[in-house]
Structure 1
Amino acid sequence: MDAEALRTRLEADEAEALARLGSEQFLRALAGGDPRPGPLLDAAAESEHAARETFSQWVDDESDTEARAVFESVVEQEHDHRERVVDELDEWDPDDGGPGPMHAYLRARESTLQRVAGGLIGRPLVTLQTHARLIDFFAGRQGAAAARRASLFDDLRAETAAVLDEGLTLLDERCVTDEDWETARMVAGYAIRVAGDDAADALRAQGIDPASIDE
C-alpha cells in the first residue's frame, strides 16, 4: 500500500461519515439549529482553534524532527485560519469547554505515525468536507459579505488540501510494514468516524435523523 491508496480506501470505507460532514444537515449540527452566518463562523473559528491547540501540544513532545517541523507549520496555519475567520465576527472568545471528540482523540495519540495519520490525513479529510459545505452556504447567499466568506473558506480549503498532501508524503516515508499501514488506516478512519458521529449526535439532539442527509 502507499499513502494515495490509503486515502482512496479511507474515502470508500468512511463514505457515510464523510457524506454526513459534507451534507446540508451538517450545517444544522454545526450551527446548533437553523444555519445562520454568525453561529457557523463561530463554530468554524472554534474548529480552527482546536486544531491549533492539538498541533501545539504535539510540537511540545514530538521526537521526529521532520514531523515536528510540519506540526509547527500547521500550528501557524491554523492560527492564521482562526484569525481570518474571527475577522468576520464582531467578537469571539474560545470556548473553555475543551476539545470536541475528534480533537480529544487526536490529542491522545503519542506515536509519530498515529499523529501523522490522524492529524494530517484523517482530520484534513474531515475539514475538506466541512469547508466545502461552508463554501456552498455562503456562495448561495446574497451580498458582498457572503461572497467574501465563500472566498475565505475556498482559500482555507485549498490550504488544508496542501496539508493533506504533506501528510501523505510523511506517511509514505514512515510506513514500512503492513502493520504500519493498518495502524494508519485505523487511526485516520477512527478520527473521521468520531467527527461524523459527533455531527450525528448534534442532529439527534435537535430531533433530526442523521440518516436523512442531503448530499
Structure 2
Amino acid sequence: MNADDLVEAVRDDQQTELSRLGSSKMLYADTRGEMEPETVTAAAAAREQAAHETFDAWSEDADAPSVFADAAAGAADRLEATDAEPADREFAVYGVLADFDGTVERLGGLLGWTLVDKKVKEQLTGFFTGQADPQTASTYRSAGSDIEALRADAGDALETVCESDADWDAAETAAIAVVEAAYEEYFETLEELGVNPKPVC
C-alpha cells in the first residue's frame, strides 16, 4: 500500500459518510441551526482552534515533527484569518485524534481529518458565495487548497514511517475512525435538531 492507496481505501470505506459531510447540513449542524454569517464564522474558528491545539501537541513527535508543526501553524493562520471569537464548541473528531499516540496513527488520523476538513471548507466557500461575500469565500477556498497540500504531506510522511502492511492498516484504521467520529456527531446533532441527516431522494 502507498499513500494514494490509503486515501482511496478510506474514501471507498467511508463514501456515504464523506458524501453527507459534504452537504450544506454540515454547517447547519456546526451552528446548531443558526445559519448567520457570524455564527458560521465562529463555528469555523472553533474548528481551527481545536485543530491548532491538537496538532501543536504532536509537534514534538520524533518521527514527523514538521508535518504536525505545519498542521498546527496552518490552523493558527486560518484562525487568525477568520477574525472571529471561536464558538464555545467541542468536536468529537478532536477527541479521537487526541487519543492517538503513535506516529503512524497520528499521520493516519491527520489524513482522515483532511478528508473531513476539506468538506467543511467547501461548504464554507459555498455559504459565503451565497452570501455575496466573495472575499471570505475566497479565503475558505484557499484554505481548502492548504488542506489538500497538508494531506499530500501526511501521505509522504506515511510512506517514510510505514514499514509493514500492519503499519498501513493502523494508519487506515485511524483515518476511518476520524471520519466516523465526524459523521456520527453530524448525524446525532441533526437528529437532535429535528433534521433528517439522510438525503431525501
RMSD: 1.6
Shift of 1:63: 2.2
Q: Which runs of 5+ in 2 are unaligned?
A: none
Aligned residue for 1:200?
Answer: 187
Question: Hey, what's the Cα distance between the residues in 2 that align with 1:213 and 1:170?
Answer: 40
Shift of 1:93: 4.8
Shift of 1:105: 0.8
TM-score (norm 2): 0.94
Aligned residue for 1:50?
Answer: 50
Question: Hey, what's the Cα distance between the residues in 1 that align with 2:176 and 2:194?
Answer: 27
In structure 2, relative to structure 1, the CA distance for the partners of 1:72 and 1:132 (3 Å cut) is same
Compare relative contact order (CA 8 Å, sep 6+) and give the higher one, 1 or 2. Answer: 1
**Alignment counterpart, residue 109 of structure 1, candidates 92, 100, 109:** 100
In structure 2, relative to structure 1, the CA distance for the partners of 1:180 and 1:37 (3 Å cut) is same
1:77 and 2:74 matched: yes
Aligned residue for 1:122?
Answer: 112
Shift of 1:94: 6.0
1:149 and 2:146 matched: no
Alignment of 1:1-215 (within 5 A): 1-60=1-60, 62-64=61-63, 67-85=64-82, 87=83, 89=84, 92-93=85-86, 95=88, 99-119=90-110, 121-142=111-132, 146-212=133-199
Shift of 1:134: 1.1
Q: Which moved more, 1:43-52 or 1:32-41?
A: 32-41
Q: Which amino acid aligns with 1:10?
A: V
TM-score (norm 1): 0.88
| Count of matched residue positions in the alignment of Structure 1 and Structure 2 | 201
Counterpart contact for 1:51–1:78, Cα < 8 Å: yes
Shift of 1:213: 6.3
Shift of 1:156: 0.6
Q: Deviations over 1:7-26 (max 9, x none)?
A: 01111111111112110221
SS at match of 1:114: helix
Q: Which runs of 5+ in 1 are unaligned?
A: none
SS at match of 1:58: coil
**What fraction of aligned residue pairs are identical, expressed as a percent?**
28
SS at match of 1:187: helix
In structure 2, relative to structure 1, the CA distance for the partners of 1:33 and 1:113 (3 Å cut) is same
SS at match of 2:57: helix
